[in-house]
Structure 1
Amino acid sequence: MAPAPERLTETTPITAQLLRGALDVERTERGVLPHRLPAWARAQCADGQLALAEAQPSGVRLAFRTRATAVELDALRTKMAYRGAPPRPDGVYDLHIDGRLAGRASVTGGNVRMVDMTTGSSETRPGPVGTVRFSGLPDRMKDVEIWLPYNEITELVTLRTDAPVEAVPDGERRVWLHHGSSISHGSDAESPSTTWPALAASRGGVELINLGLGGSALLDPFTARAMRDTPADLLSVKIGINLVNADLMRLRAFTPAVHGFLDTLREGHPTAPLLVISATYCPIHEDTPGPAAPDFSGLSEGRLQFRATGDPAERAAGKLTLTVIRDELARIVRQRAADDPFLHYLDGRDLYGEADFAELPLRDQLHPDAATHRRIGERFTDAAFGSGGPFGAAAARPES
């Protein structure tokens, strides 16, 4: 029988000063709940998908400096489950020491939100607080980051260590603020620090604030205002897939909505490098409008597929496809760049294109797997942070 782990006596309150990547921290009865949209923005939209996405802490991490050789974090997770489908994998916590991955673990217990995808209904089954523990850390002063699961709502309860903890002062690294869809949120990445934005941030040597919001990259004005008001050196917005698979708007509304979103960003970040990214390759929506609809035929075996239900002929009436959106985004950026030298465009197919789909197909016709996240992250690093890229070392800092 293994000996019980040593009891850790240093307890540190979890505050906003110890969190990075969150735009808001809600105090709860047990502890704190990180949010990726501020409270005023959440109050402007009652959509359940958005509420779920922004409360899942993709890119959010605890960051502190300590000599501790053991760390425990009590957390209450809310895990998603789907009626009729096998259980989803547990969310993962990534431990980084001085910027390098040093451990992975998952928490037990927690709530389960059971969703019936055939009716859209859900119920939450309560569960207990769990603990994630990392031990055997080097006995020296070091910077520690614990990346929270991108796919579980995570209420942080208690942080315990065997040595005192202090906040890490703001460094010299530039801050990259990114907004996108479930692919940016994490989809089926291996872990929270291996989503494509997290990988690109690590390779590019920047601090990430990830506003990848699954199903919710919809040109919402409150998201633009939240980004406007968030200090950042580099900005990017990935636009396309959610607008098509939600069948949210027509081309007439899309063009001024993009202009309005970019106008709002420029109010707060007038000279920051701003990169507009179109959707990566997605065969079902390249030339077929939405909405997307789930195919439940393989759900009992853990396979959920999506299909496009629109008619390609409807493009003449202004329905959006990824091809239509890419063409219009490129045109908008060309038009605006005449007066905005810090505005740039990246075709998402340069990150994941038709040849990549043949090699690394989208498991459900919409979402990439772990290997694809790595490929997208590497290519984005080269395109954005490489020599001559919009986020390269020579890129100007904003004046805001």
Structure 2
Amino acid sequence: MKKFIFILLIILLFIPTIAMAKEENQEENINLGQLVDELLNQIDIYDVENIIGNINEDVEGYLPKFNVRDMISSIAKGELNFNMKDFFTGIGKYLFNEVNTNINLLLRIILLSIICAILQNFQNTFDNTVSELAFNIVYMIILVMAIQSFTISIQIGIDVIDKMVTFMQALLPILLSLLTSMGSITSSALFKPLVILTVSTLSTFIKNIIIPMIFCGGILNLINHISEKIQISKLSGLLKQTSIVLLGFVMTVFVGVISIQGIASSSFDGITARTAKYAIDNFVPVIGGFLSEAADTVMGCSLLIKNAIGIIGLIFLFIIMLFPIIKILSIIIIYKISAAIIEPIADGRIVNSLNDISKSLTLILASIISVGIMFFLVITIIIGTGNATVMMR
């Protein structure tokens, strides 16, 4: 009998059986996607949607229209499809149109430079005073044109900084609220006053102090070339150098303060969240484990949405900054080309003036990019702070 039972057991072991399993991963993905959409619908992003609506109008014809909620949901679920080819094609088209728009400026500068060269060749026929007067008249016309384009570039710079500040003021409360919902209470408490104060103060300083300083230095450079009797190159150089030093100082202070605060607060939040999870799991009877897992799920979804909104913020901050930069860059290209073309025939003062204008415009460009980098770092650090908190949890 024992042998029979033993043989029967061996036979049963070799009989094939069918195993059934639920596709839990697929169901979990569906549930997670639904939870992300539900949480996203509860978040007020009306101000951000309005700003991006204005961006859609500004870039119409160059970039496709953007739907904020759809993009956030797609990024959170890992489903975003972004056509880089169309993006770069639109950017190239915009740059070409801007350069083409400023061709008239190039032609006028070349024409005036040729006239000036012809007048200088008549020095033997006319008195030197008359020749110098003719040069000054032509140079003043070029000066007026330069100041006009310079003023336009300054206004573009101020406007784009204002737009970036407005966008950050709409975006930061959302990111910080999501940071709080993940348990990063200390990070949010430190970031909210610190980031808003720092961003507003430094961007206002760049807009109201550094950019006007660059403008004054550029104008003084142009005046310096009117006559050899007027020598203010040292003053214009001082203003230029001071603006560069201040810009570097602003960036250094900003990066140092934000980085230190972000690291310290995320460490504390990670320990706090881990302690709270342990307390719920062990001290709440019966349902403590379920509550702990539910809290983990909500925090995870908040993390996904926060990161998605942060990525959206980086994308649109780049777009806000990119198109004005292209406008200013097209003007710089025109002045560089003008200086290169007229150098063999024109007076050296005109060539030097055009080069000085392009250098001043480059500093304006650097100021805009500096503000953009500050905002990029703010968003990146907030994203990283939340991620670090979850890892330490």
Same fold (TM over 0.5): no
Instruction: Give the number of the structure whose alpha-carbon radius of gyration is greater.
Output: 2
TM-score range, shorter chain: under 0.3
Q: TM-score, normalised by structure 2?
A: 0.23
Q: Which has the higher contact order (CA 8 A, sep 6+)?
A: 2
Q: Which has the higher helix share?
A: 2
Larger relative strand fraction: 1
